[in-house]
Structure 1
């Protein structure tokens, strides 16, 4: 029967497909014009038929590349002429993937097995034994003649591109993705014992938010880059610098892996380090195909079923693809790099705080129409930050899975399913190629895991598995997601999916299918809303039901599988007339960073309006908005009054109040150094209304540690050696014990304050005098300040100031010398000690038009001329000897200039300054 079936298929092929001269599979048939006899037959052939029919009909065939739905490059074992009808010999061009704008002498080579000798005599730059891949150096001509004909060579490509990071500004806000809520209600869920790998240049291990949590692997880049430091901070920052330095998993450890050529690390390195999440916030040149790199990452995830690779989607949302199915289509298919065409990984785009998509963020679909990005997360500066945030959330889920399941590692397919099923819809309605399945909601994903709303099973080809699902009568918004880690496809396959599962939800009256998108190559089709249908592209499928029944049967069918396939199903639902606050929690401050307006956030199934109000005492309430649209899920408090106090918010819906915990409304203080003397230190800060105490923290080995508490607005450290470090932070505390926003952590040695003084300098005011500007670190402990001016017989007092109440002390010397002036200050402290400061020197002229000094001058010493009358002109200066001979001439630039005296012998000289028919003269003595 199989032979008859293939005979019919071959007749159809000859009568239809073969006549379509534009079909790209024809270029690989032997005997094409220009290719006759160019390559030796290797035993590889073209065969027509569905991929799964071919594999089922002919177990002795191995598919090496699927050109389209019905044409495949195959390798046979045994005598193909006797076993299979319809084979056509192919040349070796099917192995080549050459890009005009790519490398001219470096090539990725995929082989049947990891034997370096296969590549002799070419130079091997790098080996990837986990995927039987090598990076080699050589000419394309030699590659074609020496390597291409070899049977062990599966593919050769030159898309060797240097990766580049995709955002260079940290952009921290954990509230839109509900990480703040997880951190408040699960304070022990901090990424403890998790190791997250960051593949790019190395992060700064001495950054105060990352201290002593770096795991050395030997895979690090030699280049330390600020972008990597920012990614590490978003993922696992400790918050030592400020609230915006606290990452998603602040106790996680971080390792670094060089992104030299955008390929995964060796399988064993992930296993040895127990790395289950690796972040990739970078991009490479866009290529629209399933290339060696995409396959390598799919192979990496398939070999280690617990490893989740998280990629940024890219910041090329305004770019237009130049190759592949979606070439020249604006607004779609501009993911940055072949690595993001993989299927077992997670690609993350960006949205702002209310779910709007920045125009520059890259969009899907993948080369074959698959949904990419799968998720989005907050960032307004780049998808790098969003990917890092999702990597951090993944590590929290991994930690909770270990806690719940006796230390076991969580499979990456389950991690993906939890993240996708917990996401909330943003952007275009439903599933789309801009935001995928939605905006990550860490709280919902964690809730699914804690409730145990997931299952795992394994299915064979042609089999259907069923799972019963029961729901309460008030359930609303049911969401079900199935996800599986698919075997890697072949390089160049027209679609990446290998094992095709189909999800169905069977109710009492109908059967619901997953949401699918139209992947046809046009803006109009790609912009369409999702419809229910059979998904033959993705290894993630999702069904949603707004008003579900109380019981369902979940069906999973193994439609076309080349091997048994493990899969994970997760589900989640809400309940009718529910309301729950997401932000602020009892650990939050508004505004979250003390600077910009923050959004109240909630989750609800109400679609009515509510009244939002706040109180300080739970007695008097101030209404912020009497008609909040609850379905928005947020409301912005644009200009909250800086109450520096505890506040509680309330949403009243149909007369029922829903209150937050007490949170704080405050702004950070501004610390400064009063004095930094050899043995002692004074730090000070502005008063925070309602604060009863101030806690002073010093940075220890890994985190800030409490050093002292005071009710004053300053702290004097009499013995600096008692401090464990130089980084300090001050945090106000209310009488209730609640803490307001801390100061930015600062290094007291770098504030420009030495022992009391910040600066002391002169400012010349024309026709007024010379201002003396003295900036103190503090006036604390100062009894008197005396200003002095130099005269011929020493310094004379020009002012004495007592009762000093300001750190800025200014004085005008209204009678300075004509010409050169030098000032100093003497600070006398209450304990009798004195500090003498110099303000430097300046020149002042009002009564005479010019002055030349020093006079007399030493032999060889240059003269200085200062002028008053000629500030806006360029006068001519002439020097004459005592005999009247001209010995030097120059123009005077500006109000002060130098006069060289080199070559002038000791004696008397006369000068003449001329400008606009005015002449000034005098005498100079050189000794």
Structure 2
């Protein structure tokens, strides 16, 4: 509950309800938890002149579903790893709030920080989330996460209020993942307010929530009660303005039916992002947490080792997202499909601004749009002050974003959705108008004319200023880019493989071809491919290595050289105290084999051999875990 005078409330409690135990939360400072409240006590509490709001604490959180598969291509995490191999989350730490993950999992080797002691059993779900965020890929390629060298710490979701921010900061945590939920809740409660206050007190800490897996359900309460399949986000804490809620899509970018939809209780855009999670929004949130770590790391490398504001991380992630579902924003996919590579490129190319504004003041930023840009996109985000419990509308400080082109005097407003409580209204396309509801605003212009533009950020209503804000922008990229295969990709011969790419351009067809290593002739895989589809399936033949190319009307696009071989199964021949023998099947075309051992933090090269057998002496046996890879064409 929240109270308006701590001293008077405590005195009243001692007199009226002496058997009830009272404990105070750190933030907001007027929030208390009461233990031992019985039904007759509630009427007294509600009549207390010092009590302003009563909420239900400690609802039992539930994991949003275990992980069955992973995909680092849909959200361009694998392409990011290929483009920037040194960007892997080094020096960053993530907190995974739910049940404890398994600290002995070899995919976290040497990177687990000591958290709170707990008697709870380790959770397979939490371990899967931690793997998606920061798995090291030691167990298998599927064990590699987005920020695969980041540190990890476990936190407990039995307390739904925010964790001690000072302690998180002390332990170096810059992102906390929340892949859990409760029932559908549509109001601005004490947990909502606490997370908004937490974000303003610790402005560099990013909180990422799963939207929930109740996408086909109907809210039993609130403004949108009784409307089927909308406003079904699982937990009032996910209504917070200054956090990210993430929905789930399949590998084609389609929002899966079970992914919880918005709007938020007051009509704001929720979820803000979607990411791959065919089995639910848990893994989608985990992927976005990993991306957030990489955005923070890229910023630290560019700007002298300091962390970015969390509002900037949010602006960058939303601005770089790829539109999916209905055009512009919507209540199913928010601002779009998260794009890790695009987000990091925004930071590395310094396409962002940070500043602050007061009531009626205005900040103006100038950008120059290059010729041939497919789309100009700008996103404004700010961490807003916490609202009062049960507020009809959460927004306190209201900023306005406008795009202006001096050469033609044209102006563009942000995209805004109808939030009227009717199913037809909630599916209407976004329109350009001032936004006085959200603390995120976005403007897009398709095929903008080249030249100088101005971004105007104005303090429309700033009762608690000055208000800090962040702006990110991009111009889009035209052309073709391979997503799979990439450098280091391995295909299994005779097994259908999904080839994927990005194409920004006119709808057209192309010819897909492949060339085995050592050959000079290209062979047709598919004579006609729809480039806008972004994928096709190919069953590779037996070959040591190969390369693909897409022949389009405007150019030829070569893939990286990739390998083709069946997965190697490393076997133990014998294991004795003085030595052990490992063996594996031969791979056609392999000149050597690289043996790896698991060191303090990850797999390290141990030795190379031309044989398919390795004898390990006693000095190498303490490594315990080993892996092998064929050497094909010096790779």
Specify the alignment match of 1:478 in structure 2. 376
Instruction: Quote how far apart the aligned CAs of 1:198 are.
Output: 0.9
Mapped partners of 2:21, 2:163: distance in 1? 17
Instruction: Quote how far apart the aligned CAs of 1:620 are.
Output: 1.2
Instruction: Quote how far apart the aligned CAs of 1:456 are.
Output: 1.4
Q: How big is each residue's C-alpha offset from its partner over 1:231-256, in whole Å with a ceiling of 9 and x where there is no partner? A: 11111111000000011111110111
Mapped partners of 2:45, 2:504: distance in 1? 65
Instruction: Quote how far apart the aligned CAs of 1:667 are.
Output: 3.1
Mapped partners of 1:711, 1:265: distance in 2? 53
Instruction: Report the structure number with the largest CA radius of gyration.
Output: 1
Judged with a 3 Å threshold, the aligned counterparts in structure 2 of structure 1 residues 146 and 357 are, in CA distance, closer, same or farther, namely closer
The gaps in structure 1 that reach 5 residues or longer are 1-107, 739-927
Find 1:238's aligned residue among 126, 136, 159.
Answer: 136
* Bigger relative CO (Cα 8 Å, ≥ 6 apart): 2
Mapped partners of 1:712, 1:733: distance in 2? 12
Choose between structure 1 and 2: higher strand proportion: 1
Specify the alignment match of 1:668 in structure 2. 567
Over the aligned positions, Cα root-mean-square deviation in angstroms equals: 2.2
Q: How big is each residue's C-alpha offset from its partner over 1:291-314, in whole Å with a ceiling of 9 and x where there is no partner? A: 111111111101111111000011
> Alignment partner of 1:130: what SS?
coil
TM-score, normalization by structure 2: 0.93
> Alignment partner of 1:586: what SS?
coil
Instruction: Quote how far apart the aligned CAs of 1:669 are.
Output: 1.6
Query: 1:486-885 counterparts in 2 under 5 A?
Result: 486-507=384-405, 508-549=408-449, 550-563=451-464, 564-575=466-477, 577-590=478-491, 597-616=497-516, 617=518, 619-632=520-533, 634-643=534-543, 645-654=544-553, 656-677=555-576, 679-717=578-616, 719-720=617-618, 722-734=620-632, 736-738=633-635
Specify the alignment match of 2:33 in structure 1. 135
Query: Does 2:62 align with 1:160?
Result: no
Instruction: Quote how far apart the aligned CAs of 1:699 are.
Output: 2.0
Mapped partners of 2:112, 2:576: distance in 1? 35
> Alignment partner of 1:652: what SS?
strand
> Alignment partner of 2:173: what SS?
coil
Judged with a 3 Å threshold, the aligned counterparts in structure 2 of structure 1 residues 671 and 433 are, in CA distance, closer, same or farther, namely same
Q: How big is each residue's C-alpha offset from its partner over 1:625-663, in whole Å with a ceiling of 9 and x where there is no partner? A: 23322233x2222423353x2222212222521212222
Mapped partners of 1:277, 1:629: distance in 2? 39
The gaps in structure 2 that reach 5 residues or longer are none
Judged with a 3 Å threshold, the aligned counterparts in structure 2 of structure 1 residues 626 and 551 are, in CA distance, closer, same or farther, namely farther
Mapped contact 1:459–1:566 kept (Cα < 8 A): yes
Query: Does 2:304 align with 1:406?
Result: yes
Instruction: Quote how far apart the aligned CAs of 1:608 are.
Output: 2.5
Mapped partners of 1:457, 1:122: distance in 2? 50
Instruction: Quote how far apart the aligned CAs of 1:276 are.
Output: 1.6
Instruction: Quote how far apart the aligned CAs of 1:203 are.
Output: 0.9
> Alignment partner of 2:44: what SS?
helix
Query: 1:324-403 counterparts in 2 under 5 A?
Result: 324-403=222-301
Mapped partners of 1:175, 1:494: distance in 2? 40
Q: How big is each residue's C-alpha offset from its partner over 1:473-514, in whole Å with a ceiling of 9 and x where there is no partner? A: 222211110000000111100111111111111222421111
Q: How big is each residue's C-alpha offset from its partner over 1:506-535, in whole Å with a ceiling of 9 and x where there is no partner? A: 222421111111111122111222121221
Mapped contact 1:278–1:309 kept (Cα < 8 A): yes
Mapped contact 1:458–1:567 kept (Cα < 8 A): yes
Judged with a 3 Å threshold, the aligned counterparts in structure 2 of structure 1 residues 113 and 247 are, in CA distance, closer, same or farther, namely farther
Instruction: Quote how far apart the aligned CAs of 1:350 are.
Output: 0.8
Instruction: Quote how far apart the aligned CAs of 1:204 are.
Output: 0.8
Mapped partners of 1:110, 1:435: distance in 2? 37
Query: Does 2:156 align with 1:254?
Result: no
How many residues matched? 624
Mapped contact 2:510–2:551 kept (Cα < 8 A): yes
Specify the alignment match of 1:469 in structure 2. 367
Instruction: Quote how far apart the aligned CAs of 1:611 are.
Output: 2.0
Specify the alignment match of 2:218 in structure 1. 320
Instruction: Quote how far apart the aligned CAs of 1:666 are.
Output: 3.2
Mapped partners of 1:588, 1:143: distance in 2? 62
Instruction: Quote how far apart the aligned CAs of 1:677 are.
Output: 4.7
Judged with a 3 Å threshold, the aligned counterparts in structure 2 of structure 1 residues 252 and 511 are, in CA distance, closer, same or farther, namely same
Task: Answer with 121-130 or 689-698: which moved more.
Answer: 121-130
Judged with a 3 Å threshold, the aligned counterparts in structure 2 of structure 1 residues 557 and 351 are, in CA distance, closer, same or farther, namely same
Mapped contact 1:201–1:221 kept (Cα < 8 A): no
> Alignment partner of 1:649: what SS?
strand
Mapped partners of 1:653, 1:597: distance in 2? 21
Mapped partners of 1:130, 1:594: distance in 2? 58
Specify the alignment match of 2:177 in structure 1. 279
Judged with a 3 Å threshold, the aligned counterparts in structure 2 of structure 1 residues 618 and 537 are, in CA distance, closer, same or farther, namely farther
Mapped partners of 2:620, 2:587: distance in 1? 27
> Alignment partner of 2:106: what SS?
coil
Mapped contact 1:582–1:603 kept (Cα < 8 A): no
> Alignment partner of 1:388: what SS?
helix
Mapped partners of 2:7, 2:68: distance in 1? 41
TM-score, normalization by structure 1: 0.65
Q: How big is each residue's C-alpha offset from its partner over 1:364-398, in whole Å with a ceiling of 9 and x where there is no partner? A: 11111111110011121111111011101100111
Mapped contact 1:583–1:602 kept (Cα < 8 A): no
Instruction: Quote how far apart the aligned CAs of 1:606 are.
Output: 4.2
Mapped partners of 2:325, 2:396: distance in 1? 30
Query: 1:27-66 counterparts in 2 under 5 A?
Result: none
Mapped partners of 2:181, 2:163: distance in 1? 17
Q: How big is each residue's C-alpha offset from its partner over 1:264-285, in whole Å with a ceiling of 9 and x where there is no partner? A: 1123123222322100000012
Instruction: Quote how far apart the aligned CAs of 1:109 are.
Output: 4.2
Instruction: Quote how far apart the aligned CAs of 1:149 are.
Output: 1.8
> Alignment partner of 1:231: what SS?
helix
Find 1:306's aligned residue among 173, 188, 204.
Answer: 204
Q: How big is each residue's C-alpha offset from its partner over 1:657-690, in whole Å with a ceiling of 9 and x where there is no partner? A: 1212222233312333333456443332222121
Mapped contact 1:205–1:212 kept (Cα < 8 A): no
> Alignment partner of 1:479: what SS?
strand
Specify the alignment match of 1:145 in structure 2. 44
Judged with a 3 Å threshold, the aligned counterparts in structure 2 of structure 1 residues 298 and 114 are, in CA distance, closer, same or farther, namely farther
Mapped partners of 1:495, 1:642: distance in 2? 61
Judged with a 3 Å threshold, the aligned counterparts in structure 2 of structure 1 residues 184 and 504 are, in CA distance, closer, same or farther, namely same
Judged with a 3 Å threshold, the aligned counterparts in structure 2 of structure 1 residues 230 and 116 are, in CA distance, closer, same or farther, namely farther
Query: 1:874-913 counterparts in 2 under 5 A?
Result: none
